Structure 1
C-alpha cells in the first residue's frame, strides 16, 4: 500500500518503479524543510537505531473559561500546582498534542482550545513537547514519541488521582501527536481513555502491521481518525473505530498546488475545530463498504451516515466514511447526498 502511494506522489511510471521496489521497501520521509524524500527503509531503520532518544521535559498548560488564553502550568506529581490552578475535576478534560515541529502555541492546540471553550466548561490541557518534536531531524522526533507519551500518561494518572474521571477524558493529537496520544492511552494505569481523535496521524516510519507502536483501535473506548493527507504525510489505511476521509483523504479544496501535502495535512485540525462548535451545518459522511471505496473514489449513499468529530463523541459511529467539504471556512456542507 505504502509503495503504491509513494509512486503516485512521485509520479514514477510503473516500468521504472518495478525494479526500484523489487528488492527493497521504500518510504517517504519529510526532511527539515518538510519536503518529502524517498528513502530505503533499511537505511531508515539503521538511522533510527543510531539516533538517541532525547531527554526532554514536556510542558503542560491548562486553559479554562477563567483563563482562556494564558495557560497555567501543571506539573505531574505537584499537587500544589494543580490546587492553585483553575482545574475543575467536575468538568470534562481534553488533552491536546501538537506534531512534528510544533509547540505549545501550535494551531492544533489553539484551535481545539478555542472550540471547546466556546462550547462549554472544559479543562483544556496543551501538551508542549517541542523539546522533543522541534528537531529538524524527523527520525529523531519520531523516536521521541514514546517519551512524550510516557510523560502525558503520567499527567493523566496524576489528574485521575485528583478527581478526574477517565470517562470524561479525550485525547487529541495531530500528525506525530496522534501517535503520542495513542501511546499515552496505552500507558495510563488509572483507567481507560474515553475518546481519541487522531488528526491525520503521521505515516512516515509508522506501519499498519505494528499497532503497538502507533495509534490503534483499542487504545481508547473509542478512536476516530480524520485522514486528510492519506498516504503522504498522513496514514493511508483506516486505524480508528471510525475513519473519516474528507474529499477522499487526499488533496483538500482550497489548498491549491499542495505538492508536499502540508496544507491538506493541517486541514484535519481545522475540520475538527469546526465540528466541536455548534454550527447549523454538520460534517455528515456517508458510510463506505471498505477502505477500497476510498481508494476507488466510489462510495454511494446507502442509507447509513455518520457525523465526524463533534462534542460529545458518538461511539456508535463505526466504519469508513467519505464526505466533501467547502474550500473555505465554514467547511461543513451538511447533507450533501440524495
Structure 2
C-alpha cells in the first residue's frame, strides 16, 4: 500500500508539473506529507486532494467500514489506571463504571499513536485528579498506518464512529451533551471535528484541538476538518504551525504558545515532533493547574509575531470556563521546561 500511494503521488506530480521548492508554502499551495521515517514528501494542493479523494473512493467501493476499527476505553475515579473496554450495548455500559451524573471527556490520539500513548495517560490523569469524570480514551487503529494519507482518508469514518458512541450514550444512558468535551491531538483533532459534526441532539459543550494536523487538510474546507462551529466552543492550542500543525486559527479561541510555530526547549526540531507534542503537555498542565495566562491579540499574525502587548488578558489557555466567554486569538508565553505555564504558583 505504501508503494502504491507514493507511486500515485509521483505520477500525479509529473503530470501536473512540479512546484519549484522556493515557491512551496506548506498548507497554501501544497503540503509536506510526513513519512514514518521522519522525512517529508511534497505534494501540491491538487495532488494531495486527488490522492485523499482516491483513497476515500476506494474505501467506499470496497465497503471497508470494518477496516476503520475504533475502540473505546473508559477510565473513572474507580478505575483510574485499568480501563473498561466499552461498546454500544446496554450490558457493556451497565458493567462499567460509567456514570451519567458526571461530566464526560473523550480523548483522541493522533497519527502513529494508540490509546496507551503518553498524551492519553497525562490528560486522563489530569482530569481524574480534578474530580469525578468519565474519561473515554478513543483508540483508532488507522492512525497507525505507515501511510499518513491513509490515516487522513479514515478521518470521516472514524469521527462518525465516535459520534455514534456519543449519540448512544446520550440517547440511552443519560449523558448530557453540554457536559461533554472532546480533546483531540493532531489528526485526532479532526476526528473530534467530525464527531462534533455528527451529534444528533445538539452541539457538544466543547472540543479542544491540540495542534490540529495540517498536512493534507485544507483550511478552506471546514467541513473536512475541525472548525469553530463543531461544538458550542472550539479551542485550538497551536504549537507547530506551518509544519505538522495549522498556523491559521482553527478554534473560536485560538492559542499560540511562544507564537505557535516552535516551542522553547525543543531545540532544532527538524521533524516538528517535539513542538507538535507540546500541545498535549501544555493542555495536561492547563487542566491540572490552570497555569497559562495569555495576551489578547488583534489577529493571529500578531500572535505569531508576539506583537500583542505586555498585559495579560483575563483568559487562560485550556481554562474550563473558556466555553462561555472566549473568542479570538491569544499569545501564550511558556517556559522551556515544566512547569511550562507562566501562571504556575
Same fold (TM over 0.5): yes
Q: 2:338 aligns with which of 325, 329, 336?
A: 329
Which of 35, 38, 53 does residue 34 from structure 1 map onto? Answer: 38
Maintained 8 Å contact 1:272/1:310: no
SS in structure 2 at match of 1:112: helix
Report 1:308-323 matches (<5 A): 308-323=317-332
* Alignment check: 8 A CA contact 2:293 2:312 kept: no
Give the CA deviation at 1:312: 4.6
TM-superposed deviation, 1:173: 0.1
Paired residues for 1:1-338 under 5 Å: 17-18=22-23, 25-51=29-55, 52-53=58-59, 54=64, 55-76=67-88, 78-130=89-141, 132-161=142-171, 162-278=173-289, 282-301=291-310, 304-334=313-343
SS at match of 2:82: strand
Kindly report the root-mean-square deviation, in angstroms, between the aligned alpha carbons of the 2 structures.
Answer: 1.9
Task: State the Cα deviation string for residues 50-98 of structure 1 (Å, max 9, x = none).
Answer: 324452220000000110111101112x110000100000000000100
Q: Distance in 1 between matches of 2:21 and 2:86?
A: 54
Counterpart for residue 6 of structure 2: none
Contact 1:195 1:313 in 2 (8 A): no
How far is the alpha carbon of 1:120 from its aligned partner? 0.6
**Which runs of 5 or more residues in structure 1 are unaligned?**
1-14
Indicate conservation of the 8 Å contact 2:183/2:208, yes or no: yes
Give the drift of 1:35: 2.5
Q: Deviations over 1:124-176 (max 9, x none)?
A: 0000002x111000000001001110110000011112110111000100000
Unaligned runs of 5+ in 2: 1-19
User: Equivalents in 2 of 1:46, 1:198: separation in Å?
Assistant: 26
8 Å contact from structure 1 (residues 229, 251) kept in 2:
yes
More deviation, 268-277/54-63: 54-63
CA distance in 2, matches of 1:144, 1:244: 27
Offset of residue 180 of structure 1 = 0.3
TM-fit CA distance, 1:106: 1.6
